[in-house]
Structure 1
Amino acid sequence: MNVLIYIAAVVLTAWSMGVHVWMHSPVMQFFVSSAAVIPLAAIMGRATEAIAARSGERLGGLLSATFGNAVELIIGVFSLKDGLIPLVKSSITGSIISNLLFVLGLSFFVGGLRHPIQRFNVRVARSHGSMLMLGIGVAFVVPTAFAYSAAHVSPVLSYGAASVSLIVYLLGLYFSLFTHRELFQAIQHEEDEDVAPRRSILAHVLLLAVSTVLVSLESDWLVGSVRSIAVHLGWSEVFIGVVVVAIIGNAAEHASAVWMAWKNRMDLSLEIAVGSTLQVAMFIAPVLFFIGAIMGVPFTFTFTWPEVVSMMAAVLLVVVLVMDGESNWLEGAMAFGAYVVLAAGFYSLPG
């Protein structure tokens, strides 16, 4: 399987480069670059996981937080450079609802087909639930509500929301990795395996660096073709960001979370899905906000009402589902069904 991923990455990346240099077709560039990002993201995810396994729990947690959503950050930076602010916000929205509803729902469903009741650390679930309410329910909803209720809102509100989210997220990392790490131990299952990575940590770091550079190139070409795709297919930039770009950027995480659920390692599956959501909402979004401020791009924490309602609906449903520390296939079906409804809603928006 690893060999197939590397072959796919090489072939699709070479094809994408050929399209960019010789064909100059925005539509083909979009689809080929989208396809190339998927195996590259898988390689990045595996390299990060291997580095974390070799470097220990503390450093591994920091590396996962830094590189776990590298694709979203790269796509966001290139989108800001091109002035595609709606795409940046919609990709944040899409990453949040796809991780919470699509990934977690599919993980619950697939894992529940093999294991009738799956259990995970309820303390971790409650901590994640509280962070989600702050990172999305407060940092995103409050600036949006004030922006739509007044003719002019000071940018101080967005600066405050971004700063608080970033600081609390870093405090949460310190809390879970240092001062209270014993509370965040995973539930042990008979199927848990500790497989030592075969390569050295230096090889994995080099692999991660190369794949990150290639993802940067593909992301630049992908974002550059968005406007042409919107015209040719009649898709709105919001739909492209919420559904298409979000699924592409999280492809590696999607596969990993579902596979871990199938193996009954629900703590790891939950961390991939919900932990990644927290990274996007409380780390990636504030970082993009401050990058936008440096670049002179007016990126704020105000979203459209469909985006805000969708994110809050996803958060509330997931909080209800995980609070008991157990999951089953029906709960997964409910979360996945909610994602389908939201995706259909964004598709119905005019282009």
Structure 2
Amino acid sequence: MGNKIFFILLLVGLPLSLAGSLMHWPSVIMFGVYCVTIIALASFMGRATESLAVVMGPRIGGLLNATFGNAVELIISIFALQAGLTEVVLASLTGSVLGNLLLVAGFSFFIGGLKFKRQKFNVFDARHNAGLLIFAVIVAFVIPEVFSQTMTEAKTMSLSVGIAVIMIVLYLLALFFKLVTHRGVYQHKEGGGVVEEEEMPEWSKKKAIIILLLSTIAVAYVSENLVHTFETVAASFGWSQLFIGIIIVAIVGNAAEHASAIIFAYKNKMDIAVEIAVGSTLQVAMFVAPILVLISLLFPTSMPLVFTMPELISMVTSVFLIIVISNDGETNWFEGATLLAAYVIMGIGFFLL
């Protein structure tokens, strides 16, 4: 039923997106059309990555889901940088961290917990990711803010570029560690909670890859048009660029992970659900954000890796909360509700800011 709804939304949304952009329909209307279209496309990306996850295993599947899910946000952010909307880009990065750690993980734990009293996942992966989260968010994001207080803009940008390069290198090393040198070292039978029979993928490997590529191209086109509606929508509804970036862009840009992680959790595949939520956060912090810093050098307005204090405190709080909740390798619906409550509180704060 859900797949049919997304298919209908795509059949309606994509032609309307094309027609509206060519005929210059009102920005407020097109903002809604573009968001719905991106979410529908993201659902197909989610189904394709779920098929690939069955074929390639939870780690590769989770990585693919995070990568193609973040590709949506990366595309939106590049067009926003081109338009000089650096505040929106930084806010969307913050929103991705909060959305993945609190909203995606929260819904996954909550929905899965309603069906299963206890859900287990790989505790060794959780502890490994905890260290990377602390580095990526607390070290690499807080340091530029601290030093920028006594630096010129040029020096702050130089520091941001240096940190960006280091983070990209460390992220690639982390992938090499998990997928090559230590692949399977920390596997254990309780990783996904239940030993299941072999599952057949919905789509073949070739079909899933083709759908992923076509969806990404379509998302790129729609995202470029979406960015051009931000200023008009912000003025119409009284929203700040910070709120649009943290809540709207982050939710739309990460719709693929949102849907997929919840589906995997409902099926008690918690290794993949956690890998999507936490792995996507790590990818945003250690790869997407640094890449955007480097790409911004190509545009008139460069983007230093300097967040506002509310953004930093929210991200640091989210990291500590998810580490405390997930470090034991199991979860339940109440822990999911706790993460969701934290997200709502922060969302209210940014709305009123």
Residue matched to 1:108: 109
| Cα distance, 1:158 vs structure 2 | 0.5
Residue matched to 1:265: 269
Residue matched to 1:169: 171
Matched, 1:229 2:242: no
Residue matched to 1:308: 312
| Cα distance, 1:56 vs structure 2 | 6.7
Change (3 A) 1:250 1:61: closer
User: 2: CA distance between counterparts of 1:216 and 1:263?
Assistant: 31
Q: Secondary structure at the match of 1:197?
A: coil
Mean alpha-carbon deviation: is it higher for 103-112 or for 273-282? Answer: 103-112
Residue matched to 1:80: 81
Residue matched to 1:15: 16
Q: How does 1:1-351 map to 2 (within 5 A)?
A: 1=1, 2-54=3-55, 63-64=64-65, 66-150=67-151, 152=153, 153-185=155-187, 187-190=191-194, 192=196, 194-197=198-201, 199-349=203-353
TM-score normalised to the size of structure 2? Answer: 0.92
Percent sequence identity is 45
Conservation of the 8 A alpha-carbon contact between 2:262 and 2:273: yes
| Cα distance, 1:15 vs structure 2 | 1.4
User: 2: CA distance between counterparts of 1:184 and 1:11?
Assistant: 46
| Cα distance, 1:207 vs structure 2 | 1.6
Count of residues in correspondence between the two structures: 349
Flag structure 2 segments of 5+ consecutive residues without an equivalent: none
For each residue in 1:158-202, what CA deviation from the matched residue of structure 2 results, as whole angstroms up to 9, or x when unmatched? 112111111111111011101111135361443635433354433
User: 2: CA distance between counterparts of 1:53 and 1:113?
Assistant: 24
TM-score normalised to the size of structure 1? Answer: 0.93
| Cα distance, 1:43 vs structure 2 | 1.0
| Cα distance, 1:125 vs structure 2 | 0.4
User: 1: CA distance between counterparts of 2:65 and 2:281?
Assistant: 13
Q: Secondary structure at the match of 2:32?
A: helix
Mean alpha-carbon deviation: is it higher for 51-60 or for 216-225? Answer: 51-60
Change (3 A) 1:148 1:109: same
| Cα distance, 1:291 vs structure 2 | 1.0
Conservation of the 8 A alpha-carbon contact between 1:191 and 1:264: no
Conservation of the 8 A alpha-carbon contact between 1:176 and 1:184: no
**Structure 2 counterpart of 1:182, one-letter code:** G
Mean alpha-carbon deviation: is it higher for 231-240 or for 180-189? Answer: 180-189
For each residue in 1:114-147, what CA deviation from the matched residue of structure 2 results, as whole angstroms up to 9, or x when unmatched? 2222211111001111111111111111101111
User: 2: CA distance between counterparts of 1:199 and 1:265?
Assistant: 18
User: 2: CA distance between counterparts of 1:276 and 1:181?
Assistant: 19
| Cα distance, 1:334 vs structure 2 | 1.2
Conservation of the 8 A alpha-carbon contact between 1:162 and 1:289: yes
User: 2: CA distance between counterparts of 1:281 and 1:341?
Assistant: 22
User: 1: CA distance between counterparts of 2:96 and 2:186?
Assistant: 24
For each residue in 1:52-73, what CA deviation from the matched residue of structure 2 results, as whole angstroms up to 9, or x when unmatched? 5446778767644542411011
Mean alpha-carbon deviation: is it higher for 290-299 or for 75-84? Answer: 290-299
Q: Secondary structure at the match of 1:306?
A: helix
For each residue in 1:245-268, what CA deviation from the matched residue of structure 2 results, as whole angstroms up to 9, or x when unmatched? 111111121121122222222111
For each residue in 1:270-291, what CA deviation from the matched residue of structure 2 results, as whole angstroms up to 9, or x when unmatched? 1111111111111111111111
